[in-house]
């Protein structure tokens, strides 16, 4: 199956997005990164590193688990509940520009849940969406502000993002499911 991004491309893509973030926000004041578990978290941390490499500023970084906000949670009568992991946002999001980070943007439902969750933490000045891959097929009116790569897919395909921190290597692959 085709690998659409290799380790080198992923690295350069994140550096490019870091530059875009700084350009669009005119610096790092008020910025904070929040990664959506699982793979949004290492991507957010890499973006924080990339931003520091560019202008020596640390951007606060948090992790968000959206399971408790999923819209399909109690609709399945069968099967065990999905695992809940820790949300760690060790800073106030009030009046911050939050960069919400995820690996793949697909139906938009995860992002909808993440927006609801974030609003429970405070009132950010703005929320911008960063994704490594946009594969289309939106079911909600949601659009990313920063996209690593647009990958046209069919609904029967699946997009596998692998990151060293979680999977042992960096790669984005499309598979037939």
Interacting residues with other proteins (CB under 8 A): 65, 68-69, 73-74, 76-81, 83-88, 116-117, 120-122
- Residue with Cβ nearer other proteins (3 or 84): 84
Q: Cβ closer to other proteins: 53 or 120? A: 120
CB of 69 to other proteins, least distance (A): 6
Give CA separation, 34 vs 5, 62, 104, in Å: 23, 5, 15
Per DSSP, what are the bridge partners of residue 175? 158
Residues 44, 61 contacting (CB under 8 angstroms): yes
Shortest Å, Cβ 105 to other proteins: 22
Least CB distance to other proteins at residue 63 (A): 10
Q: How far is the CB of 75 from other proteins (least distance, A)?
A: 10
HSE-CB for 93 with a 13 A CA cutoff: 24
6 or 95, CB closer to other proteins?
95
CB of 1 to other proteins, least distance (A): 32
Edge-to-edge order in the sheet of strand 3-6: 3-6, 171-176, 157-162
DSSP code per residue over 61-83: EEEE--GGG-TTTTT-SSSPPPP
Nearer of residues 81 and 177 to other proteins, judged by Cβ: 81
Whether 26 and 57 have beta carbons less than 8 Å apart is answered as no
DSSP state at residue 88: B
């Amino acid at each position: 199956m085709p690998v659409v991004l290799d380790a080198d491309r992923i690295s350069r893509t994140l550096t490019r997005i870091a530059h875009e973030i700084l350009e669009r926000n005119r610096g790092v004041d008020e910025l904070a990164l929040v990664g959506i578990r699982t793979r949004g978290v290492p991507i957010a941390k890499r973006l924080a590193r990339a931003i520091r490499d560019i202008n020596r500023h640390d951007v606060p970084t948090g992790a968000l688990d959206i399971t408790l906000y999923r819209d399909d949670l109690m609709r399945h009568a069968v099967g065990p509940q999905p695992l809940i992991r820790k949300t760690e946002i060790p800073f106030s999001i009030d009046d911050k520009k939050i960069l919400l980070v995820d690996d793949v943007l697909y139906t938009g439902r995860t992002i909808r849940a993440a927006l609801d969750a974030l609003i429970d933490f405070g009132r950010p000045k703005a929320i911008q969406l960063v994704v490594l891959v946009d594969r289309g097929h939106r079911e909600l009116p949601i659009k990313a502000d920063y996209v690593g790569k647009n990958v046209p897919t069919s609904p029967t395909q699946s997009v596998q993002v692998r990151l060293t921190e979680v999977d042992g290597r960096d790669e984005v692959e499309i598979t037939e499911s």
